[in-house]
Amino acid sequence: MPILNRAAEMQEEVAGWRRHIHSNPEILYDCHETAAFVAERLKEFGVDEVVTGIGQTGVVGLIRGNLGEGPTIGMRADMDALPLTEITGKSYASTTEGKMHACGHDGHTAMLLGAAKYLAETRNFKGAVAVIFQPAEEGGAGGLAMVKDGMMERFDIARVFGMHNMPGLPVGQFALRPGPLMAATAEFTIKVKGKGGHAAMPHGTIDPIVVGSQMVLAIQTIASRSVDPIESVVVSITKFHGGDAYNVIPEEIEFAGTIRTLKREVADKAIERMRAICQGIALAGGAVADVDIDVNYPVTFNDPEETVFATSIAKGVAGDPNVNDKINPVMGGEDFSYMLEARPGAFIFIGNGDTANLHNPAYDFNDEVIPHGVSYWVRLAETALAA
């Protein structure tokens, strides 16, 4: 089962949809124009049901097969962009300052639309396929919102599958693994309140920058000294703000970052240590620390049986040598995890080739990927729902 001829023929059309979406990026749940574009295409394809407004701006299209009664499988793509300013210089670059598709969600959406068009034309399966277009993957938990909105029950979805592009993985290749594929995430914000004063008289102050800096360094020991070296944990400080003048020690500073783990108990340990470290250093320095930790996406956990199934589909499209079914886990987070908690399924990476990395202002989805992604989705649906 190599790349479908029809998928190759559709590449230019699907790329056109992708570039339209790329030019008009929307953030988080504000995916109204993208959702309307998706819904319009689905109706043009003759999809049996097109439902909007699920999880605020999510869209689900239901395609019924011609081979009789059967279960429904879900196939999901994300629609939202990122708050970045694009520097690609492409003719179809973002037309909105400060917003761009820097993670390939434009490509994910376009490929699933291509599969929906094919499946609506052929309907060579039993049961039904629910094509799921989700907002707010980038930190907004849109996957959870759609699940809480009753999507699985409303469309009687029995199994669910997702896909994400991976820069550095050659075009035409796929990668996945059973069990934990992507990390659970937590975000933290730490405020340190001291006593401000003149920079020339530091002895009369409690310097929150010094105290906060000690916290930043000590937090690095969570991975090196508090967690079993065999386990996976990442603690990264990504923001540090404080002060406005060269000659003033500020009253307060704030820093923030993220914790990534592959196990809930490891996350709990990291959070416990972060609170203890920050409160202890604040006490020693005479300052006060406010530690706010927001537990976010759970681990993206591939069902072992569904992973075997997804691997077989990928190998049918790409050939055995081009599918890595034992990839190391990735410490990025993904809210498809909520759908995998609700239903068995699997998440797979598809090669984007030698491109800029995700979340980079120079990134662009590789349109050469389109026939591979469309073929994967079509083969997965037709095989899962074979008569």
Instruction: For residue 133, give the nearest of 12, 20, 41, 45 by alpha carbon.
Output: 41
Integer Cα distance of 375 and 106 in angstroms: 17
The pLDDT assigned to 93 comes to 98
The pLDDT assigned to 387 comes to 72
Residue in this structure with the two tokens 């849109």, named with its chain if needed: 142
Question: Looking at this protein, which amino acid is placed at residue 67?
Answer: L
Can you tell me whether residue 90 is helix, strand or coil? coil
Q: Are 303 and 162 in contact (CB under 8 A)?
A: no
pLDDT digit string (tens) for the chain, length 387 residues = 589 999 999 999 999 999 999 999 999 999 999 999 999 999 999 999 999 999 999 999 999 999 999 999 999 999 999 999 999 999 999 999 999 999 999 999 999 999 999 999 999 999 999 999 999 999 899 999 999 999 999 999 999 999 999 999 999 999 999 999 999 999 999 999 999 999 999 999 999 999 999 999 999 999 999 999 999 999 999 999 999 999 999 999 999 999 999 998 999 999 999 999 999 999 999 999 999 999 999 999 999 999 999 999 999 999 999 999 999 999 999 999 999 999 999 999 999 999 999 999 999 999 999 999 999 999 999 999 997
Torsion angle of C-alpha atoms 261, 262, 266, 270, degrees rounded to 10: 0
Integer Cα distance of 333 and 106 in angstroms: 18
Q: Could you tell me the strand order of the sheet in which 288-295 lies?
A: 233-242, 252-261, 184-193, 288-295
Q: What is the DSSP string of 213-265?
A: HHHHHHHTHIIIIIS-TTS-EEEEEEEEEE-SSTTEE-SEEEEEEEEEESSHH
Integer Cα distance of 25 and 34 in angstroms: 8
Beta strands 300-302 and 179-182: pairing type? antiparallel
Q: Could you tell me the strand order of the sheet in which 49-54 lies?
A: 49-54, 58-64, 128-134, 72-78, 157-166, 345-351, 174-175, 323-324
Q: How far is CA 300 from CA 134, 154, 159, 196, 361, in A?
A: 16, 23, 15, 44, 26
